[in-house]
Amino acid sequence: MTRISWIAVVSVAATVTVTAVVQLAQVGEPAVDVQLLAINDFHGALEPASGGNGRIGSADAGGIEYLATHLARLKATNPNTFIVSAGDNIGGTPLLSSLFHDEPSIEALNVAGLQLSALGNHDLDEGWWELLRVQRGGCHPVDGCQDGTPFSGASFAHLAANVTLDPRKADPLMLALAGVRGAEPRPLLPPYAIREIDGVRVGFIGVVTQDTPRVILPTSVRGLAFGPEPDAANTAARTLREQGVRAIVVLMHAGAERTGADINGCGGVSRPFIDLVSRLSDDIDVVVSGHTHHGYNCTIDGKLVTSAASAGRLVTDIDLRVRRSDGEIVAKAARNVIVTRDVAKDAAQTALLEHYRSLGNKGGSRVVGSITGSLTRDFNDAAEFSLGDLVADALLEAARRTPGANAEIAIWNPGGIRADLVAAPGSGPTPVTYAQVFAVLPFGNELIVKTVTGDTLLQMLEQQFGAERVRIMQVSSGFSYAYAPSRPRGQRIIRESVRINGAPLELTRQYRLATSDFLWETGDGLTALGSSTDPVLIGVDYEILADYFSRHSPIRPGSLNRIRKIR
């Protein structure tokens, strides 16, 4: 019996089904079994992480040495295998990768056999020009080849059908760094790629979330335009069909929010994502998605749709049967496989890590403080979490200690907090290293204090409740409020509940707010902050947090009592 020879489909919604296998090849008709092994949102997770970033359910998962072993074992089951990614291979990475401008992560993915990747929004964190260097290779223009060896670039291709570069709107220096000549708009990256294997052709299309300018620093994408994902994918699919390609896969760095926990189900998948997939052409057979860091596997509008969580903790094993006569996919199946750590480490990956550890771990292993209990991103019913409280408090203290800043409150976006601090079992405090602090705040955002009105603060709080996604900012001690999600948008904050250092919010009063350059530039859709004035630069987030640990350790988890949810 071949791997695709039976059907088991369980309906969970009108257009969404949990998928083990869909369709069945006609008996006896020649076909090729093609395997896709997919990851997404790797974010430079070279080393096994602690806390939520290092688990799937109760199972320890992730680490490039184990990921590579799982990929190799799965690949060995089918010689007709492609290894693909739905983007965010880099960006927001731990210290071991960030120290070297993420070259270690690219080299590790090269060794693991990655062949194609969608562009992810965080792949652009250091700028589109830097992403082109990462693709092509060459030493960093400022820091050079820091490990003393040449950097040959990504052996896998990045794809982006919905991203256009307009040189007329870009920084001339960045154009020069990237070797871009001419003024005509052009695709930043190839929109699609065609790969042939055992006599059949498969087309891969890459798209990235159209919201990219809202979720990374605007300077990183200056000169780029991001079109609607379905429109670009459908255009590319028509082009592929015109070239005779019938098996079409979209690598999409956009994904579903969901409430379900089954990594091989789709319970609780968000309606906007279902609508997005339903807008894709029927010519598209498979959607490998990402961005939201959830694991799922189902069928939406006849398309097999998957996501492998994040940080290399899952591999999606997708099996396709492609008919030889016309190249059509006649059967498709998927399963998410946990990247467990009970397998042998990949020796080539171990050697790569040891090379970079010998150069970069000296500063990272420095102990900056300690904790008496775990500080995590596990949030309560109101979406407040202990690590968020700590970060906001650390940033406020630094801002208050800076002459002329006069900070009163601080906020921080939850998406900027990327790793947990887990206390070891036992009696004494658990040491916290500089590398661990960096992993919590890996983006290197600058903390800035500006003046806002009380009305601006209220608008900002309301803007946390986006049309497609809710992002509850983490707030410092002295800033508290309640919200009612059942109320209409724009009226969800209980105005009389907002307190600033014990006093009711005054809409006309001016307040000094500390937060990141990302949020000040209206990131995460907080456009109200665009009206702020009188900036004072404080410093870089992870340095501030490390200093806070040195001043206050051992640190204890606090009470989650700053934000309340009213039902």
The pair of structure tokens assigned to 187 is: 């695709």
- Rounded-to-integer distance, Cα 327 and Cα 199, Å: 9
Query: Which residues are within 8 A (CB) of 164 and not within 5 positions of it... i.e. 6 or more apart?
Result: 185, 186, 187, 188, 224, 225, 227
Residue 336 burial (CB count, 10 A)? 23
| Closest alpha carbon to 398 in 500, 544, 517, 537 | 544
For the cut 80, the answer to whether the pLDDT of residue 77 exceeds it is: yes
291 DSSP 8-state letter? S
The C-alpha atoms of residue 128 and residue 117 are separated, in whole angstroms, by 15
Task: Tell me: pLDDT of 272 over 50.
Answer: yes
Q: In the beta sheet, which residues pair with residue 323?
A: 31
- Looking at the predicted structure, is the pLDDT value of residue 341 above 60? yes
Mean residue pLDDT of the chain comes to 94
CB count in 10 Å sphere of residue 227: 14
| Residue among 475, 371, 361 at smallest CA distance from 417 | 475
CA nearest neighbour of 123 among 253, 251, 211:
253
Q: Output the pLDDT for position 12.
A: 37
Predicted pLDDT at 133: 98
**Structure confidence at residue 363 (pLDDT):** 79
Dist CA 567 CA 564 (whole Å): 10
pLDDT in tens, 289-305: 999 999 999 999 999 99
pLDDT level of residue 16 (50, 70, 90 thresholds):
low
Section 124-146 average pLDDT: 97
Q: State pLDDT tens for residues 450-484.
A: 999 999 999 999 999 987 789 999 999 999 999 99
Which residue in this structure is represented by tokens 């771990």? 361
Q: Which of the two residues, 2 and 268, has the higher pLDDT score?
A: 268
Per-residue pLDDT tens digits for 19-45:
444 444 445 689 999 999 999 999 999
Sign of CA dihedral 51, 57, 63, 65: positive
Q: Phi first, then psi: give them for residue 155, nearest 5 degrees.
A: -80, -10
pLDDT band at 226 (very low <50, low <70, confident <90, very high): very high
Cβ–Cβ under 8 Å, residues 229 and 252: yes
Q: Is pLDDT at 560 greater than 70 in this prediction?
A: yes
Distance between CA atoms of 332 and 104, rounded to whole angstroms? 34
Q: What is the pLDDT of residue 11?
A: 33
Distance CA 321, CA 333 (A): 9
Map out the domains of the chain with their CATH numbers. 22-350 (3.60.21.10), 365-565 (3.90.780.10)
Instruction: Provide the pLDDT for residue 360.
Output: 80
Beta-strand relationship, 409-412 and 224-226: unpaired
Share of the chain above pLDDT 70, in %: 95
Q: Does 325 score more than 50 pLDDT?
A: yes
Q: Give the sign of the dihedral formed by CA 548, CA 553, CA 554, CA 556.
A: negative
Please give the pLDDT value at position 18.
Answer: 53
Instruction: Give dist(CA 121, CA 386) in Å, integer.
Output: 27
